[in-house]
Structure 1
């Protein structure tokens, strides 16, 4: 036998897609697991020609599911970001877009029993320990992907997947503001370092001489900006207690500008070495929290709702995304309780994906 067969679902989750695997079908050792995922995706070539990746960071993501070890959760979701060309795998972050497909995938895999009408799936994000409740449409006890919900960055409409994110603050760094400050100045640029669902470094677009309305392609062509951003991100990662983040996709980077299309604020999100074509679900929560938090770099850029929960509409490179943030202002400061979003998912393929036996001999 020259190749090892691994069962998989191939799904779009939000504005990302990739294989959804059963953790029990994969090696326990993370080094071996990384090599298996590299082979599955085809990392090492710009087109991922020898795997099922799509040649972009949003299409080289992997979800691994298992029955949860948490009494609250139904399923554990372990995420991996595989690089397109570098043969690297980052197990540190999570992905909220791919998480949009976890509820449907868990039901399809038989890890969660479907109910008539709707099925609630409680998910523990293993990478960050966040808890997420997903509501999946299950008419007649089967997952439905048909519906009229549209999300920016995906053509057509699908069934909604409602997500409620809880316990997302400080999942990676242990703190809402990892540096202890609402604003830090790094390389002459004011930034807010925040950890809500995803650790991020957030700046104003005009601090880099940008409008904040550039397309993803225009930003990707601006390598001078990326060089400045990456140097700043590395220093911020150290200040946030994350150590050397040279080969890590976290912390992510975000830019803010005044809204111009009826939203609350204009945003651009980076993965971090390319511009996200739309917006990450986790990044959206962090950016929305930044808008609501007094004294951050978002101050003065947006009209902040004086109510809780607050609905924040982020304008991004492909449209908008709405985030509903439940928060409180206490004697201890600003506190994020939970954040809710609606996404969609679709099962694209199911079967077996093959890995050369020299990469892994199988179970």
Structure 2
């Protein structure tokens, strides 16, 4: 019998992200012990995450922890963890809407939610942001279906559609849509919108930092001067948003905005925060779309004001992502179509907590 810690795990793709899904009861309740295990599982601290199951990229170094709901009106709790690739850091301050797409299927197959007809509505409490998201999961014949005709840019092939509705996403981290109190701030001579909607972000018109907005993710990742400039602005924006010193946090996310050129409403380059996303984060899309319908933001000034109900098509390096904004019960909600797939299940092995330098 080996001396490693065996933990039940399911690897899932959610939207354009991928990572292990755990039941909350299978991990330590103490955050420090839990994070040490996640770092061991993912192999963080090495660019390839060679000693773990992480994929060596921020979009494949994500973890979902799912358990029974802790609040009324929800079916399950979902805690998201962004596990850094190059550093041994676990950040639970943000949410991830792409991984969120797989939470409903995982919860149903784990027995946390009962199937309710051809489509099962799963009400997800995101522990990170204390917000509620509804997921519509295809469940024909009494079980989750992953096969279908839905396509999303950034993922090859087709799959069953999963509809996500973000309920009252404003103020996910800070409690305010515009944490600085203004739709536009001037930081070191650059006009930015600091917005907190599903994800804290710093929106910048790309011309303000000397880029075109149509570079590939690889080209932007190779531009060390641009990345350094974005990080300087991000750190300053984080302080203004009340997030404190964000050097070891992944929020706020920097986002470059430009006019569309492929039939969409706006074009974006979304950073995670030190690499450009190969497509676009779902939560980022919700916040960007909300900025487009909000007066006097960098986004709305760039493309002109839009009013819900409206569908906004956001161009990104891999294609488009559409966000439907409409009113429900007096509040604006955001709907997005995603897909998910179960990849494998079994046990993942971690070094015991005592060997990781964390008290048992």
- Normalising by structure 1, report the TM-score: 0.95
Provide the residue aligned with 1:262 in structure 2: 263
Say yes or no: does 1:26 pair with 2:27.
yes
Provide the residue aligned with 1:338 in structure 2: 333
Give CA deviations for 1:7-50 in whole Å, capped at 9, x if unaligned: 01100000000000001110111111111000111111111111
Provide the residue aligned with 2:290 in structure 1: 289
* Superposition misfits of 4+ residues, deviation over 4 angstroms: 360-363
Provide the residue aligned with 2:313 in structure 1: 313
Match of 1:348 among 327, 343, 349: 343
State how 1:269-284 maps to structure 2 within 5 Å: 269-284=270-285
**Contact 2:32–2:358 at 8 Å: present in 1 too?**
no
d(CA) in 2 for partners of 1:327 and 1:230? 35
d(CA) in 1 for partners of 2:174 and 2:326? 21
Provide the residue aligned with 1:325 in structure 2: 325
Local SS of the residue matching 2:302: coil
Provide the residue aligned with 1:58 in structure 2: 59
Give CA deviations for 1:50-89 in whole Å, capped at 9, x if unaligned: 1111010000000000010111000000010000111110
Say yes or no: does 1:240 pair with 2:238.
no
Provide the residue aligned with 1:331 in structure 2: none
Local SS of the residue matching 1:301: helix
**Contact 2:169–2:198 at 8 Å: present in 1 too?**
yes
d(CA) in 2 for partners of 1:70 and 1:341? 24
- Normalising by structure 2, report the TM-score: 0.96
- Aligned pair count reads 356
Provide the residue aligned with 1:136 in structure 2: 137
How far has the Cα of 1:327 moved from its partner? 5.2
d(CA) in 2 for partners of 1:240 and 1:305? 25
**Contact 1:258–1:302 at 8 Å: present in 2 too?**
yes
Say yes or no: does 1:93 pair with 2:94.
yes
**Contact 1:151–1:344 at 8 Å: present in 2 too?**
yes
Local SS of the residue matching 2:49: coil
How far has the Cα of 1:326 moved from its partner? 2.3
Provide the residue aligned with 1:12 in structure 2: 13
Local SS of the residue matching 2:299: coil
Quote the RMSD (CA, aligned, Å). Answer: 1.6
Provide the residue aligned with 1:108 in structure 2: 109
Give CA deviations for 1:104-143 in whole Å, capped at 9, x if unaligned: 0001111111133111100000000110010001111111
Provide the residue aligned with 1:189 in structure 2: 190
How far has the Cα of 1:360 moved from its partner? 8.8
d(CA) in 1 for partners of 2:170 and 2:40? 34
Cα distance, 1:238–1:362 mapped onto 2, change above 3 Å: closer
Give CA deviations for 1:305-327 in whole Å, capped at 9, x if unaligned: 44x22111100011000001125
d(CA) in 1 for partners of 2:172 and 2:104? 21
How far has the Cα of 1:162 moved from its partner? 0.3
Give CA deviations for 1:323-342 in whole Å, capped at 9, x if unaligned: 011259xxxxxx96211000
**Contact 1:178–1:241 at 8 Å: present in 2 too?**
yes
**Contact 1:36–1:360 at 8 Å: present in 2 too?**
no
Q: Which runs of 5+ in 1 are unaligned?
A: 329-334
How far has the Cα of 1:304 moved from its partner? 3.9
Local SS of the residue matching 2:121: strand
